[in-house]
Amino acid sequence: MTGTTLWCVVPAAGRGVRAGGDLPKQYQLLAGRSLIEHTLERLAVHPRIGGLLVTLAADDRHWPGLHDVRGKPVLTAIGGAQRSESVLAGLDALPERVGSEEFVLVHDAARPCVRPNDIGRLIEQGTQGDGGLLGAPLRDTLKHADGDGRVERTESRESRWRAFTPQMFRRGPLAAALREANRQGVAVSDEAMAMELAGFSPLLVEGAEDNIKVTTAADFALAEFLLARTSS
Ligand code: CTP
Ligand code: MG
């Protein structure tokens, strides 16, 4: 694969409340290594990724102090109370030589199973325009619930996608979009949502559904299983 290399911001400043456990989920072990180390390894081995910027909680005592992974530089910055703040802090902490129009990836520390092929396709397709994100069309029937947990109605599944990471946008416009969403008091749950508010139409690039976000305690075993078999 040819082309310039890109930086990847890796938000890892969350507390992992839903996962429980003694450690924040990004530091829990999977097959003998922390979740975040698996994720950083997956990213660093990709030939199009040139550097990693990890955002950490201000009181993080578990970060292993990595300065490079597979020869790629690893920088850190302090994240914020919301994921979007952590991403913005990471964008602001990128080296100055990363220009405003350069594409930057953002990938959750909690998604260790992302496939190299999918990262490559996102970069190939997204850099033709204004960026995009990995996702997958909804497979299950979608129900809208009422307040009592009963079905109010069935919604169409057509045209509905689940959004994953990595997401990839130009550094300057993404930072501006996240700042503007924050200024408007809109809680954006991913980078694409901030870009949508700013008037962009991010490209959806279909990726493997096993790019799970480790969220609950049960997800660790699933991720361990998937990691062993999703190397491409
Ligand atoms: N994240 C972050 N800063 C925050 C919140 C989340 O950098 N203030 C990161 C998490 O560390 C994770 C990614 O964003 O890698 C996705 O968030 P999520 O899966 O929700 O992780 P947590 O917020 O840690 O988990 P929970 O919501 O269960 O507390
Ligand atoms: Mg969270």
- Terminal Cα distance for the chain, rounded: 14
Verdict on whether the full-model pTM lies above 0.75:
yes
CATH number for region 6-230: 3.90.550.10
State the SS3 of 80-131.
CCCHHHHHHHHHHCCCCCCCCCCEEEECCCCCCCCCHHHHHHHHHHHCCCCC
Strand (E) or helix (H) holding 221: helix 218-229
Domain parsing of the chain, residue ranges: 6-230
Closest approach atom of ligand 1 to CA 82: 8
pLDDT mean over 211-217: 98
**pLDDT tens by residue, 128-157:** 999 999 999 999 999 999 999 999 999 999
Mutate to test the pocket of ligand 1, among 8, 15, 34, 62 (most ligand atoms within 8 A of CB): 15
